[in-house]
Amino acid sequence: MKKYHVAVVGATGAVGQRILQQLTKRNFPIETITFLASKRSAGKEIQFSGQTYVIKEAVPEAFDGVDFAFFSAGGSVSKALAPEAAARGAIVIDNTSAFRMDPEVPLVVPEVNRHDLKQHNGIIANPNCSTIQMVCVLEPLRKAFGLKKVIVSTYQAVSGAGAIAIDELKKQSNHFENRSDISADILPVRSGEKHYPIAFNAIPQIDVFTDNGYTYEEMKMINETKKIMHMPELKVAATCVRLPVVAGHSESVYVETESEGVTIEQIRNILTEAEGVTVMDRPEDAVYPMPLFAEGEDDVFVGRIRHDIDDPSNLHLWIVADNLLKGAALNSIQIAEAIIEDGIR
Amino acid sequence: MKKYHVAVVGATGAVGQRILQQLTKRNFPIETITFLASKRSAGKEIQFSGQTYVIKEAVPEAFDGVDFAFFSAGGSVSKALAPEAAARGAIVIDNTSAFRMDPEVPLVVPEVNRHDLKQHNGIIANPNCSTIQMVCVLEPLRKAFGLKKVIVSTYQAVSGAGAIAIDELKKQSNHFENRSDISADILPVRSGEKHYPIAFNAIPQIDVFTDNGYTYEEMKMINETKKIMHMPELKVAATCVRLPVVAGHSESVYVETESEGVTIEQIRNILTEAEGVTVMDRPEDAVYPMPLFAEGEDDVFVGRIRHDIDDPSNLHLWIVADNLLKGAALNSIQIAEAIIEDGIR
């Protein structure tokens, strides 16, 4: 079996760490691995598969000879270096939002639009975490009976804001009694002027606001869903909310479908057969997905499947997945695996 | 000014305690106050306005001479005793779900359907917490331009499940590191077979499931909204989720309206003028409602007001209120105040 030279840019971050775990767990065919970071982090040591590696500075020449470059070091790093890596023959799998809406860059969830990988020009974008888990469930429904509109409200974990946000929730959680006076430095947006406690709270802002009153996170869900599913006509409405949950994004999804007379049992069967999806939907036994139990799991979990009482062709779904795994690291590795399997590299 | 004989049934519970606070804070015209409970709690002492009272057993005769009886001791107590109290001339304001959908019983949020109080037969029902805060915002929108459909996903606090649920969240919050092994005894439903941790989690079940796959909490939001707003034709779809938040329910509400060409500024103005509603909606300054800061506040807060990008007559709203105050105790007292002001008693 052919083996590859893999580069990881941003290996010490929350997503980067999960990428290393997944490379090992999934036995990715690595011949050589190179760890790259900004000048500031270059020279530091990192452990991988029982060996110690020295992190090198991410300069364009560092990508010479690299087959797969996984980027998760922020949008500006990707913007500067991903084209350089691609020009040197690497296939970049980028976890940032830098290239997601670039018409020349495939935005891929292998279970949904694996075929788009063939059109790559050296860069493949990994979608936003909250988008990935949703489209994994929407795609089999689209295939079965068509979709018209999606209205989603999210319940997102702090791990999506990095290891520092996890630390902040940990500290704040010890202040149950004086919770309204908890100090905060990270959320909703680290570089912003105002910070709010996340412990014992819900913050209806993820990422910064755009001019239309939506946050970037909401616009990502709207735009990326249409691109991945090749449905520019699909209506998507989104509200994104951060919760005091460590890992695991949850989504209350309302779907207007073209179905008529489809039973809940048929929908459960369609989703049970869908790749990467696990149905957890036995309300009579209090069985449904929850983020606390999705942490560390590969699959996207779906439950609370119901018809709208007034409009029976519309459905309610409750979708949960580990945002750092299927929402980020795992999907990136699956993209690389698909490229190998399909002979694209 | 006339003063009244007030009875409080269930004064030691989470809602009962807030009822006592509100009676004092709002200077309710009390001549006599009587505290009633089950045989088990009778004989215990309770403090009110600097005085000590002995709790009496809630037997039918205990309501003789009572003007206003506030019930918050569970549905079975209300079912058994509210008609007895009403038969003895008391006006019962019931915080349980026992009589909410009874066509003979007004279900009242004073800002919305105060006029319904005139039709009372001795019992007035206080709606479900998550319903009250939503209709306070929906009603001014209905008046201004009509409503067709409401799709709501809730983010509900543990205080809605009583003081024991608050204690459970408090204990569990100290177990950040071993969070997937946290023991749980209360949620989602205390009397149920399975219990899940709420700390660092989101539980998509509030109250037990009905046969149609919806929970009672979801069905309450659907049915009570139509009754309070006198809109049997209004479509309501609901998903109710419990969060690790102490107090303050939040709601992501999507509304299909009859409006055309209404600006967000006009909607903010309509809601700013609405009684009991505070608009907190300056996304550019990261200003929006959050449950941590709604705790202890009287008003219903609304923000994140946006048009749907694809369907501009539809709106997104983020609605937050203290579920034990406007969602329960405060609304009950406001019902009694309206009865007095309107000369109904």
pLDDT of residue B85: 98
CATH of the domain at A238: 3.30.360.10
Which residues of B participate in the annotated binding site for phosphate?
Answer: 100
B194 and B89 in a common domain: no
Q: Which of B244, B232, B263, B153 is nearest to B201 (CA)?
A: B244
Residue B260 confidence (pLDDT) above 90: no
Residue B298, min C-alpha distance to chain A (Å):
17
For residue B246, the chain A residue with the least C-alpha distance is: A200
A311 and A191 in a common domain: yes
Residue B254 C-alpha from the chain's centroid: 20
A209 and A221 in a common domain: yes
For residue A233, the chain B residue with the least C-alpha distance is: B310
B70 and B148 in a common domain: no
B38: tokens are 């089950």
Q: Taking residues A191-214, report their average pLDDT.
A: 97
pLDDT of residue A47: 95
B334: tokens are 């406001």
**Whether B249 is catalytic:** yes
Which residues of A participate in the annotated binding site for phosphate?
Answer: 100
Write out the residue range of the structural domain in which residue B267 sits: 131-322
* Interchain CB contact of B311 with A (< 8 Å): yes
Q: What are phi and psi of B263, to 5 degrees?
A: -85, 160
Q: How far apart are CA A344 and CA A2, in angstroms?
A: 13
Burial label for A253, CB within 10 Å (0-12, 13-18, 19+), is: buried
Residue A259 confidence (pLDDT) above 90: no
Q: Which of B253, B249, B189 is nearest to B216 (CA)?
A: B189
pLDDT of residue A261: 87
A296: tokens are 């560390």
Residues of chain A contacting residue B153, judged by C-beta atoms under 8 Å apart: 153, 252
* Other Cβ atoms within 10 Å of A118 Cβ, number: 11
Q: Which of A220, A179, A225, A227 is nearest to A202 (CA)?
A: A179
pLDDT of residue A345: 82
- DSSP conformational letter for A176: S
Based on the structure, what is the number of domains in chain A? 2
C-alpha separations of A83 from A91, A104, A105 in Å = 10, 12, 11
Average pLDDT, chain B: 97
A299-321, pLDDT tens digit by residue? 999 999 999 999 999 999 999 99
State how beta strands A277-279 and A235-239 pair. Answer: unpaired
- The pLDDT confidence band at residue A180, using thresholds 50, 70 and 90, is confident
Rounded (5°) CA angle B34-B37-B39: 125
Q: Taking residues A245-261, report their average pLDDT.
A: 95
**Whether B129 is catalytic:** yes
pLDDT of residue A108: 98
Sign (positive/negative) of CA torsion B128, B134, B136, B138?
A: negative
For residue B284, the chain A residue with the least C-alpha distance is: A209
* Stretch (H or E) spanning B278: strand B277-279
CB contact (8 A) between residue B303 and residue A237: no
B302 and B283 in a common domain: yes
Q: How far apart are CA B86 and CA A184, in angstroms?
A: 51
Q: Taking residues B307-332, report their average pLDDT.
A: 97
Each residue of A272-287: b (16+ CB within 10 Å) or e?
A: eebebbbbbbebeebe
In this structure, of A327-341, B36-50, B106-120, B316-330, the range with the lowest mean pLDDT score is: B36-50
Asked whether the beta carbons of A301 and A137 are under 8 A apart, the reply is no
Sign (positive/negative) of CA torsion B18, B19, B23, B24?
A: negative
Q: Taking residues A218-229, report their average pLDDT.
A: 98
Residue B220, min C-alpha distance to chain A (Å):
13
Q: How far apart are CA B118 and CA B127, in angstroms?
A: 17
A286 and A178 in a common domain: yes
- The pLDDT confidence band at residue A141, using thresholds 50, 70 and 90, is very high
Residue B25, min C-alpha distance to chain A (Å):
22
Q: How far apart are CA A65 and CA A88, in angstroms?
A: 7
CB contact set of A189 (below 8 Å; sequence gap of 6+): A205, A207, A208, B286
A65-90, pLDDT tens digit by residue? 999 999 999 999 999 999 999 999 99
CB contact (8 A) between residue B173 and residue A173: yes
Residue B109 C-alpha from the chain's centroid: 10
Residue A1 confidence (pLDDT) above 90: no
Sign (positive/negative) of CA torsion B35, B41, B43, B45?
A: negative
Asked whether the beta carbons of B205 and B186 are under 8 A apart, the reply is no
A271-302, pLDDT tens digit by residue? 999 999 999 999 999 999 999 999 999 999 99
Residue window 158-177, chain A: list those with CB within 8 Å of chain B: 169-170, 173-174, 176
- The pLDDT confidence band at residue A343, using thresholds 50, 70 and 90, is very high
pLDDT of residue B261: 87
Asked whether the beta carbons of B72 and B13 are under 8 A apart, the reply is yes
A170 and A116 in a common domain: no
- In chain B, the percentage of residues whose pLDDT exceeds 70 is 100
Q: Give the DSSP letter string of A244-268.
A: S-SS-EEEEEEEEES--S--HHHHH
Q: Which of B345, B344, B299 is nearest to B325 (CA)?
A: B299
Q: How far apart are CA A105 and CA A103, in angstroms?
A: 6
Q: Where is pLDDT greater, at B61 or B38?
A: B61
pLDDT of residue B1: 83
Residue B38 confidence (pLDDT) above 90: no
A4-41, pLDDT tens digit by residue? 999 999 999 999 999 999 999 999 999 999 999 988 88
Sign (positive/negative) of CA torsion B77, B78, B82, B83?
A: negative
Q: How far apart are CA B45 and CA B146, in angstroms?
A: 50
Bridge partners of A319? A251, A302
Q: How far apart are CA B116 and CA B121, in angstroms?
A: 11
Q: Which of A212, A226, A233 is nearest to A101 (CA)?
A: A226
DSSP 3-state assignment of A140? helix
* Interchain CB contact of B264 with A (< 8 Å): yes
Q: Which of A171, A173, A240, A301 to mutate to test the interface with B (most CBs of B within 10 A)?
A: A173
* Interchain CB contact of B225 with A (< 8 Å): no
B333 and B310 in a common domain: no
A207: tokens are 């990422």
For chain B, the 3-state helix, strand and coil shares in percent, each to the nearest 5, are: 35, 25, 40
For residue B233, the chain A residue with the least C-alpha distance is: A310
B213-229, pLDDT tens digit by residue? 999 999 999 999 999 99
CB contact (8 A) between residue A237 and residue B310: yes
A112 and A20 in a common domain: yes
Q: Give the DSSP letter string of B113-151.
A: HGGGGGG-SSEEEPPPHHHHHHHHHHHHHHHHH-EEEEE
B54-74, pLDDT tens digit by residue? 999 999 999 999 999 999 999
In the block, which residue shows the tokens 């909410």? B100
pLDDT of residue B259: 84
B317 and B194 in a common domain: yes
- DSSP conformational letter for A156: B
A224 and A305 in a common domain: yes
Q: How far apart are CA A250 and CA B201, in angstroms?
A: 10
Q: Tell me: ipTM over 0.90.
A: yes
* Stretch (H or E) spanning B31: strand B30-37
Q: Which of A10, A6, A65, A64 is nearest to A31 (CA)?
A: A6
A36-50, pLDDT tens digit by residue? 998 888 999 999 999
Q: Respond yes or no on whether the N-terminal peptide bond of residue A188 is cis (omega within 30° of 0).
A: yes
* Other Cβ atoms within 10 Å of B18 Cβ, number: 25
Sign (positive/negative) of CA torsion B121, B122, B127, B133?
A: positive
Each residue of B303-338: b (16+ CB within 10 Å) or e?
A: bbbbbbbeeebbbbbbbbbbbbbbbbbbbbbbbbeb
In the block, which residue shows the tokens 């860069």? A123
CATH of the domain at B113: 3.40.50.720
A139 and A281 in a common domain: yes
Q: Taking residues B241-246, report their average pLDDT.
A: 98
- The pLDDT confidence band at residue B339, using thresholds 50, 70 and 90, is very high
Question: Count of CB contacts below 8 A, A vs B?
Answer: 181
